[in-house]
Amino acid sequence: MATEVLINNLVQHSSAGVRKASDKVLSGKRLDQNDALFLYQEAELGLLGILANFIREKLNQHNTYFNRNFHFEPTNICIYNCKFCSYKRKINEPGSWEYTYEDLLERLQHYNGKALTEIHIVGGVHPKRDLHYYGKMLQLVKQHRPDIHIKAFTAIELDFMIRKAGMSIKEGLLALKEYGLDSIPGGGAEIFREEIRKQVCYDKSSSELWLNIHRIAHELGIPSNATILYGHIESYDDRVDHMNRLRELQDETNGFNVFIPLKFKKDNNQLSEIGEVSTIEDLRNFAISRIFLDNFPHIKAYWPMIGKNVTQLSLSFGVDDIDGTIDDSTKIYSMAGSEDQTPKLSTEELVDLIKEARRVPVERDTLYNIIKVY
C-alpha cells in the first residue's frame, strides 16, 4: 500500500502516458508497446525504479540469484563480421584461438572435487566445425561431470553447425540434446528490428531464425535465455519491438528462463566512435525490461559487463539475478572494454555483494531451482 501511495504521488506531475502505464503496473495489467515507449521517453528514473522494484518483489521478493559456473569459449574464429564485436578473429590471425577437446578436459579437471552446477559454452562460428564436433565436446563434459548442466551455443552458432551437418533445426537440436545439451543461452539476439540488424550485423542469422530456433528448442523441452544488445544505434522503439517479440514467443512456449540486457561496449570494434550509454540509461533499461516483460520470471544483470557497483544498483531497478562466479573464463566482454577485465568472484564475494545491496543471496541451478539461501 505504501508503494502504491508513493507511485501515485510521483506520477501526479507526469504525462498522461506515464500515468496510464503506472496505473497498469499497479493493477497488474499488461503494458502495450506505446506504454513502454512513454516510460522510456518521459518517466523519471526514480519512478521507473519503484515500478520495477514493485514487480520484482512481487515475483521474487528480495531474493537475488546466482550460480557456480564457468565459461568455455572453444574458439573466437568466426565467419561473421558484426560491427559491435571485439572478439572475432580469422583463422591464423593474431589473437585467435581454437581450443581442443584436451583443452576442455584440462579446464574441467580444474574443478575436480569442487562445487559446480553449470558450464556455459559459446564462441565464434568456426567455418570448419559442425554439430558433431561440438556434440563430442558435450559428451566429454557429461562423461567427466555428469552432474553439470550444459548451457551451450547461441542460436547463431546452432544455425551454422546444424546446417553444416546437413540437418533441419529440429533434427539438429534433438541430436545435440542426445549428446548432452541441457539448455541454450540467449546470445546472438542482438537487436531484432531488421533495419538496425542489417546495419550492425548484416550477415548474421535473421531475427526470425533466432526466434524460430528458440521456439523449436522450447517445443523439444530445451529451455533457453534471451538477450538484447542495447546502447548502440538502436532507438527506444527498436528496444520495445525486440522485447515485444520475445514476450510474444514466451506467451507461446513459456520456455525462457531469464531476460538479460547486454550493454554495447565500445573498445576495439567498428562502432567505437559512438561511445557508450550512461549508467542512468543502463538502469532505465533494466527497469523497463522488468516492467514490460511480465511473463519472464527473471531479469539478469551480467556483472562482468557493467561492473559490481552498477550491478548492485540494478537490484533496485528490477534485476533479481546477477549470473555466477564466472571464474575469469570469458573474454567476450573483457576484449570490448568491460568494467571487469578479470571476471571472477567467489561464492562468498557474490553473497557479500548481494547482501550489501540489502537483498537475499540465493544460490540456484541453471533452471532456478534453489540450492541454498544465505
> Are residues 150 and 202 both part of a single domain?
yes
User: pTM, whole model, 2 decimals?
Assistant: 0.94
DSSP single-letter state for residue 214: H
Which cell goes with 36?
513502454
> Are residues 91 and 139 both part of a single domain?
yes
| pLDDT tens for each residue of 32-74 | 999 999 999 999 999 999 999 999 999 999 999 999 998 999 9
Q: Is 137 helix (H, G, I), strand (E, B) or coil?
A: helix
DSSP single-letter state for residue 262: E
* Rounded Cα–Cα distance for residues 39 and 315 (Å): 19
β-strand partners of 152: 121
* Rounded Cα–Cα distance for residues 336 and 135 (Å): 29
CA distances from 24 to 43, 263, 309 (A): 14, 28, 31
Amino acid identity at 178: E
Question: Sign of dihedral through CA atoms 177, 181, 186, 192?
Answer: negative
Which cell goes with 236?
527506444
Domain boundary among 14, 29, 58: 58
pLDDT for 223 equals 98
Asked whether the beta carbons of 200 and 232 are under 8 A apart, the reply is yes
> Are residues 268 and 178 both part of a single domain?
yes
> Are residues 368 and 287 both part of a single domain?
yes
Average pLDDT, stretch 64-85? Answer: 92
> Are residues 81 and 19 both part of a single domain?
no
DSSP single-letter state for residue 77: B
| pLDDT tens for each residue of 3-32 | 777 777 777 777 888 999 999 999 999 999
* Rounded Cα–Cα distance for residues 226 and 190 (Å): 10
* Rounded Cα–Cα distance for residues 190 and 228 (Å): 5
Domains: count for the chain: 2
pLDDT for 328 equals 52
User: What residues contact residue 190 under an 8 Å CB cut-off, 6+ apart?
Assistant: 82, 84, 197, 200, 201, 204, 228, 229
pLDDT mean across residues, the chain: 92
What CATH number does the domain containing 306 carry?
A: 3.20.20.70
> Are residues 189 and 271 both part of a single domain?
yes
* Rounded Cα–Cα distance for residues 337 and 86 (Å): 9
DSSP letters spanning 33-56: HHHHHHHHHH--HHHHHHHHHHHH
Domain boundary among 58, 87, 105: 58
> Are residues 222 and 343 both part of a single domain?
yes
Q: Which of 188, 174, 193 lies closest to 124 in space, CA to CA?
A: 188
pLDDT for 343 equals 60
DSSP single-letter state for residue 272: G
Average pLDDT, stretch 210-219? Answer: 98
* Rounded Cα–Cα distance for residues 70 and 111 (Å): 10
CA distances from 38 to 18, 172, 264 (A): 6, 42, 23
| pLDDT tens for each residue of 312-355 | 999 999 999 999 887 754 444 444 444 554 567 888 999 999 99
Phi then psi dihedrals of residue 324, to 5 deg: -145, -160
> Are residues 48 and 71 both part of a single domain?
no
> Are residues 82 and 176 both part of a single domain?
yes
β-strand partners of 39: none
Q: Which of 194, 188, 180 lies closest to 138 in space, CA to CA?
A: 180
> Are residues 208 and 253 both part of a single domain?
yes
| pLDDT tens for each residue of 186-209 | 999 999 999 999 999 999 999 999
pLDDT for 12 equals 72
pLDDT for 337 equals 45
Domain boundary among 42, 58, 74: 58
> Are residues 161 and 20 both part of a single domain?
no
> Are residues 171 and 52 both part of a single domain?
no
Domain limits at 78? 63-373
Average pLDDT, stretch 146-156? Answer: 97
